[in-house]
Copies of this chain bind each other. A is one copy, B any other.
Amino acid sequence: MELQNFILVLDILGTVAFAVSGVLVAMEKRLDLFGVLIIASVTAIGGGTLRDLLIGTVPVSWMLQPEYLLTIIITVVVAILLQGRLASLRRSLFLFDTLGIGLYTIVGIERGLAAGLSPGICIILGTMTASFGGVLRDTLCNEIPVIFRKEIYATACIAGGALYFLLEALGVPGFWTYLGGILAVVLIRLVAVKFRIALPNIYRGRE
């Protein structure tokens, strides 16, 4: 499989996973069909939209590539039909979600480089691309964003982004730089979740 196709498959899987995570939160809040669709869309494309706005890529990406919205609509319909059984898919969804985060991080970095930004800012842009959709989802559903509270999520994005620039500085070819960055994000998150590794506690005294 060529790199372009590989990326496309990951991108679609990531969009599906983000959309489903939006559907799950929205249904917990008993939103109606339109509300569920909006929360799913915002979760899946919110990060990329913020990125595009901040660097000035307008009209934003999803307006020019309808396949994202189509993927989201189909995902929402299927997720609503399968609602009773979504719980049993939780493991696969977690994997898609993690792949999506890895991919979105690296995509965000590449867009930042294309806009002439420095590596540090590009890593922030990649982390935003991967995480802002979930922040919007939780804010619109009137919750404090979950990634501000417990997931070692952004840390994985930052580490993967740093590896990307390290590999590039070492002269590794584009394909492997890309793949290395994504895999680092995925592995760090999987290991952190499996061994319940969290960010160090910053609060003094009894918890």
Contacts and interface: CB of A to CB of B under 8 A. Distances in A.
Interface of A: 26-27, 29-36, 38-39, 49, 53-56, 58-60, 63-64, 66, 69, 80, 83-84, 115, 117-118, 120-121, 124-125, 135, 139-145, 147-150, 153-155, 198-200, 202-204
A79 to B, nearest CB: 10
B59 A29 contact: no
B56 A58 contact: yes
14 contacts: A27-B202, A29-B144, A30-B149, A32-B150, A34-B153, A35-B145, A36-B202, A38-B154, A55-B58, A66-B121, A69-B124, A84-B204, A140-B148, A142-B142
A31 B144 contact: yes
A114 to B, nearest CB: 11
B117 A39 contact: no
B139 A33 contact: no
Counting chain B CB atoms within 10 Å of each CB, the highest count among A59, A60, A64 belongs to A59
Contacts of A155: 34
A66 B115 contact: no
Contacts of A33: 199-200, 202
B66 A148 contact: no
B144 A135 contact: no
